[in-house]
Structure 1
Amino acid sequence: MEGTDTYSSEPEPPSPSTASSACALVPFSFRNPFHDALQDATRWFPIAGKRIRIDQAWQGDGRGGTALGFGASVYDAAIALSLYLAAHRDLVKGNRVVELGCGPGLVGVVAAHLEPKSVVITDGDPASVELTQRNIKANDISGGVCTAEEYLWGDLEHRLVPKANGADI
């Protein structure tokens, strides 16, 4: 995955059988070593038979990072975990899922498409939770199966703790 973003809405280049041998067609592509997909406003992920839309909120901090922190963008680990869950649907199907540290919510949104009993997506950053709520809506997840809530790891007094303790995954 490094160096390219295979999860985008760019069309595939034409196959050699459709291109004329008398011309060279080089389609424009953002997929190059200088493109940083973490800064894209929206990314698309073909996972679990769905086309998952995830909006990102990269806001440069002037030092090469983001003002929102790690929760602004989808990182490779979230893509890998999402693909793993999609390949092992039995881990999620019919179970109660809690995600800690969701960022923009890719893993939780994917889990919500795998027939869980419920999904609670959490992050300690209110801006990440708001972004995740937008991504839940953008992916037409309805019926209250999936919610995003603010939760800072280790806060044992938080109202979410009993719900998290009852999680299956």
Structure 2
Amino acid sequence: MTVVFNERAALGKTLSALLEQRTLWRSEYVARDKVLGSEIKEILNRIRELDELHGSPIVMHEEETEAEQIATEVSTTGQFVDQSQKIRRQHQRHDYSRISQEIEGILEESSPVAMPDLYKELQQRLRVDWPNPYITIHRALEHSERIHVQKIGRKLMFSLQVVSIQRS
């Protein structure tokens, strides 16, 4: 059996070699950065100790202030945290039936209410901050049949539906 060596196979091997090299360099960079971060922390801690012993801080040079900024970027685990990385919020569980009851209470006091005003009032009453209030409020609306949503222009307006009793 003869194996045909074509350009696609060569590119595949080159790609795998480049990916391996990339992961190797990345792990070396992270290891070096951890070491440098811990050294910077040690030096800054020693500087603070000396400042406390002598009672007056020595005027820092520009390089030392940069080092202090870098040290603040070193997280508690010792890894360097890039400014562009965002910390993901933990998932929150919501009591949608309670939220819908609060919405009904707000709408009984004053109706109709715009979305931003409704959210502000819910923040005050429930002492919460939702990443996406639109989704949370609409999920809470599924638990109530009394709340009516109407779009007026570009605003969502919330009000209570008038339940008519039919007499026979």
Larger radius of gyration: 2
TM-score bracket for the superposition, by shorter chain length: under 0.3
TM-score, scaled to structure 2: 0.20
Higher strand share goes to which structure? 1
Task: Looking at secondary structure, tell me which structure has more helix per residue.
Answer: 2
Q: Provide TM-score, normalisation by structure 1.
A: 0.20
